Amino acid sequence: MTPRSRPPDPRRPKRRERSTGQVWDQWPTDLDWQPMAPDLRTVRLLGMTIRLVILAVVALLPLVLWLGPPGVAVAFGTAAALAAIRSWVIVRAVRAWGFAERDKDLLVKHGLLFRELSIVPYGRIQLVDLKAGPIERAFGLTTVQVRTAALGAGTEIPGLEPTVAKGLRDRLSARAAEVREGL
Amino acid sequence: MSDAQPPDRPSPQAAPDQWPAPAMAPAPIGPAPAAPVEIPKRRLHPLTPLLESFRLLIAVVLASSWQMYIRENAAFGVAIAVFAGVFGAFSGLLSWLYTGYRVVGGELQITEGVLIRKSRTLPLERLQGIEVAQPIRARIFGLAELRIEVAGANETEAPLSYLKLGEAHAFRKELLAVAGRGRAAEEPDEPEPEAGTPIARVGGRRLIAGAVLEYLPPTLLVFAVMIGALALLTWMLDSADAEVNLWRFGAVPILFGLAGSIIQMVTSILRNWNFTLSRADRRLRVERGVTEKHSNIVPLSRVTAVSVELPVMWRLKRWRRVRVSTASIAQQGTQGADGGDLLPVGSVAESEHVAGTAMPQLEWRELAAVLRRPPRRARWRTPFTWKIRGAGLGEDVFSVRYGLMKTTTVAVPYARIQQVEVTQGPLQRLQGLATVRARIAGSAAHDAAAVHRDAAEAVAIAAELRVRADAAAAREAPRLS
């Protein structure tokens, strides 16, 4: 949290000008963002594939009846192309996830196209949950879910090694109990 | 929140020196779990399906009468009504048969669904509050619904509806007992002992004028647009036959829309008839209603945000409306949408006084001075509201202004901010803009969002909000504990 003392950078104004578009390039800069486990990429890709396969199986018969075999081929080709783009986005989006713990709050950033930075003060945390979907479990990953009294604003940190997740959960709940603030 | 939920303070044994601390989820906030009480499975009131499909019923009636009107064929409309009625009754009966609730091992389980069984489980030890609410359709039959709020639930759970009123109150007490909050059971329904000092009254004439001025412009606008569209279509088709049909088809939605907005206007007048706001100790008391008095109490300590609204035509009269949001569940229910009024319509001075009473630290007049517009390059994103939009950090509150047809200024005290979010969409990134959102307890509808700020400024606001929120919470800590 202490600002790293760095020598005056001659390119600084330029850098600043260029980076006005990036929310978390400017602040907080002096944090060590924890990345997600690389396996999260696989989890997300696998999840997408499974959903697509299910959708394809369900849609196959109606599509054949409606469009005929050539139409189905076109539809599936389009779907495959979209899936390829989506996979590329997923790979990059997983890299965009990150969380950082500060003295008084937890920061979570995510999103590639629509970027989001959530700042959750420890004192406002109501619940910390660990959860894992079936694919996540197969890869030994866990999601930490943090909730405050603000509804619909659940903050998730997916793709953590179970030990990391447990450690994070314990730290969060301990700090939440230390400094509890009201609604 | 201090008076309604004192048991929510953490148990003191979770000291920092115990490391790693015990997990929070398995042993949540609140009192020690009571001995498991079992309440056997019960069913909802048999009239539930009828009330649940109230809106559907109206839609069916409308659809069938529309068909009768269009086809000039009564039989067809009747057939629709009968078919929908039979189908609705059958599916309603089935869903009623398969819906039940019970308490097992400190959890309230609600099971529903005929084909796909669905079971909702509410851990009662995390109970934040239960309210017995009576929407109008339920009041007719003397029924009520239970709104149950559980800490950390994703959304307000769907209410348990409907039960007989007495049954609902009894079940509420039982649930509170299970949750180990026996003494909380009698607290909220307690009538206010002292009358309090009146702060604001709203006369009938002003209420009517306010409602007319508020609802007239949007209604006229929609009316004009639809008439214009029809006229354009007529002109384009240019056939007498088509014209007649067109106007016949078009008249019905227009008339329905008109009737809808008139009904809305009248209900808003009736709802706030005889409106009186008074203050007693640290509570505000709102009384209103035509024949029977509705009263609700807003504890000042639970106010999470104050907003002042200015519908566009009210500028003529220099009137304002003041609303509050509180952390209570009533805010999120159907009643809550209207329940936050502290002053339905009043002069500038009155509104400042009421807003100042609701939030004593707030200097409403100074607040306008801190509001800053978004940067000029954001103008085309919201061309009509760019001039109106503003956000600023006040002495004790974060304040945001937005809206053209209804200009709203929201003030959220720093101490009530739950979490802060900075978001940036792709277009915003190209322009170097970002949105800051201060989330408060309760539904997202009451959040204060500063839209399209300069990215650097947005980040600075977020950082400042966090610092000030911590400072404000620290100052407040003695009062809350």
Question: pLDDT tens, B99-158?
Answer: 888 888 777 888 877 776 667 777 776 676 677 777 777 777 888 888 777 655 554 556
> In the β-sheet with B397-402, what is the strand arrangement from edge to edge?
B341-347, B319-326, B303-311, B406-413, B397-402, B390-393
Q: What angle do CA B157, B163, B169 make, to 5 degrees?
A: 85
Distance CA B55, CA A57 (A): 36
Choose from B11, B424, B428, B452 for mutation: most chain A CBs within 10 A. Answer: B424
What six digits make up the tokens of A25?
């390039």
Please indicate whether, in this complex, the C-beta atoms of A23 and B156 are within 8 angstroms of each other: no
**Chain B residue with minimum CA distance to A29:** B459
Residue B185 has pLDDT above 50, yes or no: no
Helical packing angle, B54-71 and B240-271, nearest 10°: 150
Interchain proximity B418–A183, CB inside 8 Å:
yes
pLDDT at B225: 87
**Touching B: A residues 77-116, CB under 8 Å:** 104-105, 111, 113-116
Which residues numbered 401-420 in B keep a CB inside 8 Å of some CB on A? 415-416, 418-420
Beta-bridge partner residues of B323: B307, B341
Determine the average pLDDT of the residues in B164-180.
Answer: 83
- Residue B231 CA to residue A150 CA, distance in Å, equals 48
User: In chain A, which residues have their Cβ closer than 8 Å to the Cβ of B423?
Assistant: 111, 114-117
Cβ of residue A182 closer than 8 Å to a chain B Cβ: yes
**Closest to B133 (Cα-Cα) out of B100, B107, B169, B90:** B169
**pLDDT at residue B465 is higher than 90:** yes
**Gap from B225 CA to chain A (nearest CA, Å):** 35
Q: Is the model's pLDDT at B259 over the cut of 60?
A: yes
Q: What is the pLDDT of residues B212-225, one digit of tens each?
A: 998 888 888 888 88
pLDDT for the residue B58: 79
State pLDDT tens for residues A61-88: 888 888 888 888 888 899 999 999 999 9
The confidence score (pLDDT) of residue B44 equals 86
Q: What is the DSSP letter of A30?
A: S
Q: What is the mean pLDDT of residues B327-346?
A: 62
- pLDDT of B191: 47
Tokens (6 digits) for B413: 């005290």
Predicted pLDDT at B28: 42
Tens digit of each residue's pLDDT (9 = 90 or more) over B45-64: 888 887 777 777 777 778 77
* Assigned architecture for domain B361-481: Roll (2.30)
Residue ranges of domains in chain B: 1-190, 191-322+330-354, 361-481
The proportion of chain B whose per-residue pLDDT surpasses 70, expressed as a percent, equals: 78
Beta-carbon contacts of A164 under 8 Å, excluding residues fewer than 6 positions away, are none
Please say whether the beta carbons of B330 and B360 come within 8 A: no
Q: Do B24 and A177 touch (CB under 8 A)?
A: yes
Question: What residue of B is the nearest CA neighbor of A17?
Answer: B432
User: Position of tokens 């159907």?
Assistant: B334
Our measurement of the distance from residue B14's CA atom to the centroid of its chain's CA atoms, rounded to an integer in Å, reads 35
Chain B 301-320, residues with CB within 8 Å of chain A CB atoms: 302, 304
Selected residue with higher pLDDT from A13 and B166: B166
B427 touches chain A (CB under 8 A): no
Contact A68, A83 (CB under 8 A): no
Residue B429 with chain A: CB contacts under 8 Å: 21-22, 115
Cβ contact B106:B123 at 8 Å: yes
User: What integer is the mean pLDDT of A112-120?
Assistant: 88
- Cβ-Cβ contacts under 8 Å between A and B: the total is 178
CB-based contact B81:B61 (threshold 8 Å): yes
Confidence of residue A152 (pLDDT cuts 50, 70, 90): low
Q: For residue range B288-299, what is the model confidence (pLDDT) as tens digits? A: 877 666 777 777
